[in-house]
Structure 1
């Protein structure tokens, strides 16, 4: 009986020791799991904060399937955002900007309505991402503070100029199509095969150029010298867009040839051409704000506004990092 009692007490002691050791192990694990990562001013970021942010952004399952390199990049991105949030919270406090419990409640209500969830379903969804409702409220507070700061300290100072809007529209081809067009005239001379024919053609071209320089019109010279079908109409061929002319002629006509100036000889399979661009429209001539569709202009403004807000926010954070201590702990 005595041996049984001893054995019984030994079992109790062993169980106690086991539980003590197990508790120590669990505590150690908890300490490892929730290490201090960064101190921002008098605020801290722990590994638990980081993983909650990561899980909320990517989802636990999706994150676990990422490569190790991708996981590290995701963690670094979220850590930077957490640091930014604390820096902005510091500035918000300095400027007396606060988020009330009512604002957070309304935000949570909107989230539940948009996702057709009740309180219990929201809690389960958060738990699935490794986050408590309280942690979620803290995150929402930081997000709302960021939004308030942007609305009060950045947006009122942003101005979009006409030049910026037009430049963005051109760079992104957002204007209605306005193809380059020309009105073209030509003097067509016969193909010159022999040396004598080539010499004769050169003399004819020199004569045309000389008389043109003296003030004669290209049209009258076309009527006299051109062998083309448009000779009787002063060599006028009509309106053309790119892709409607022989490549050899198009290169010159849509290139650097000035309006009302005769070209050099252009050789094609049809003969030798002297061309003159009588009129050239400027594709950018109609590129005004009035030419932009209202929805397109709105899209441009939103894009430029977002770009400027992002830039100003980055500058704000650079300044805050100089003012507020940011210390990494490992």
Structure 2
């Protein structure tokens, strides 16, 4: 019999949880051993709720956080009821079930090892060391800061260049004459790199030296530009916080591969299936 109201979503979750993507859900809980509910003589603890949250993962995001604990409790209660019914029917003694249980234990031990000995063993010092190594010789792409004055025709642009040659202030002239959106800000375009401006503009501005401006108007589809280069610099290396996730994943991959190589050297692995034994390794070239 299906439950109603708040308990109905739990049924949908329970039906599909085997196909869910594993994730983690942060819950505010008491001690892991605290008993939340009883199903017959079986106790459901805070740890059971946390394990269910880990298994259900992103599926919980479909519901308001205020409902999560109730949903998780419903799932665990339903699991316990069905598990008790399975034992009464002798399903726990079925050879196929025992094989499945062995596989699930194998999988859980694998996951626990990875979590504790691979991922969990990566410290902040490890991340810092990986960051220092990765960006030791980092040299970011060149980026520049520029201003421009945009007008509709070439003759007006040439007249403005003459004013600049006679000592006019570029920013003030941009505020007075430029028709572009940067005009009120003195023509300031901020910092940008190659590939961010239209080609004629880019070619002209990257050819300048800081403090200089184009002596001939530059035409683009937007009109005629006078461009002044303010500054050149190299992009700074990213902060550790910005790349920590990628660095951690690389460390996990490296340590996983190293551990697997170590284990395969220590433990003999025999492939008894002839077809699988003769199959090319993944990534190997075949003629």
TM-score range, shorter chain: 0.3 to 0.5
Q: Which has the higher contact order (CA 8 A, sep 6+)?
A: 1
Larger radius of gyration: 1
Report which of the two has the higher share of helix: 1
Per the normalisation by structure 1, the TM-score is: 0.28
